Chains A and B, each alone.
Chain A
């Protein structure tokens, strides 16, 4: 069983810059064709300050930390038996290339199904701008499949 006392645990806060080149590479990787995500002039023409952060990119921001798999390590897990079950983003503002975002991740819930055969870790990361305004929240649900007892 996962340690339920970890519910509410806050990971170290972090800050990340939304890099233009990285956003272009991300756009290429996902086959993006919408010019506002690739061409800064097109983004500006559409009213954005620079290339806007695409919908799933907050997940990537959460990987730009010294230990991107810190949730697994907190629970003494490795990649085996781990699934990314669900992901949710809630958007409160807009971030563009050049912005610095301030991230704070916490364990928001742990629960199980099928008599503990499946356990779920819910991790929420809040991203705020320099003025402390909430830009977005990323909620990841990690599924931990129990292997049969040795």
Chain B
């Protein structure tokens, strides 16, 4: 039954997409420091060329997943997330503009009622960088109030 003020979703619905800012080397440096992932392949082009045989640095897969995470938390409150999974298919490159999209694949009654989503991150050329899934509690008006501060 429809509850007043409760958002209504259906299988097949898309959630609002997220367009990440263009991937700069500054972003890669900030992410390296902030994430604690100091693998030089993401920030040191000398290393990427000589040790890894790449043309240039590559973006961390977990940064792509972080953008997918923003897609989710822009849509539902953080504490509604139950599960979030990603397959990292291809690395991003400096200059990439990553777009994240999500689509509802199932709504399951139960306690709690949950929504299942499929997720995708692709670059400006339509190349898939990551696909994934998420399970979130069905958003309702109480969930948007945030968590109990005593939790």
A binding-site residues for B, Cβ under 8 Å: 22, 25-26, 28-32, 34, 36-37, 46-49, 52, 54-56, 59-60, 63-64, 68-69, 79-80, 83-91, 93-94
B147 lies within 8 A of A59 (CB):
no
Q: A55-B84, A88-B85, A88-B86 are in contact. Are A29 and B21 (CB under 8 A)?
A: no
Contacts A29-B30, A64-B36, A80-B52 known; A48 to B82 CB distance under 8 Å? no
Whether A79 contacts B88 in the complex (CB less than 8 A), given A26-B35, A54-B73, A84-B61, comes out as no
In the complex, the answer to whether B67 meets A91 with C-beta atoms within 8 Å is: no
What would be 11 A-B contacts, judged by CB atoms less than 8 Å apart?
Answer: A26-B35, A34-B74, A47-B145, A54-B73, A55-B84, A56-B69, A59-B62, A79-B39, A79-B41, A85-B88, A89-B83
Does B36 lie within 8 Å of A56, measured CB to CB?
no
Q: In the complex, what's the smallest C-beta–C-beta distance from A51 to chain B, in angstroms?
A: 10
- Chain B: residues with Cβ within 8 Å of the partner, total of 45
Q: Which residues of B contact A29 (CB under 8 A)?
A: 27, 30-31, 33-35, 63
Report the separation of the CA atoms of residues A150 and B65 in the bound assembly, to the nearest whole angstrom: 36
Is A30 a contact partner of B66 (Cβ separation < 8 A)?
yes
Q: List the A side residues contacting B37 at CB < 8 Å.
A: 59-60, 63, 68
In the complex, what's the smallest C-beta–C-beta distance from B62 to chain A, in angstroms? 5
A49 and B149: CB pair below 8 A? yes
Q: Which listed residue (B33, B69, B148) contacts A25, Cβ 8 A?
A: B33
A80 touching B51 by the CB < 8 A rule?
yes
Question: Given contacts A26-B34, A84-B61, A86-B88, are A91 and B81 in contact (CB under 8 A)?
Answer: yes
**Residue from B38, B62, B66, B67 with most neighbouring chain A CB atoms (10 Å):** B66
Contact: B88 with A83, CB < 8 Å?
A: yes
CA distance A56 to B84 in the complex (A): 9
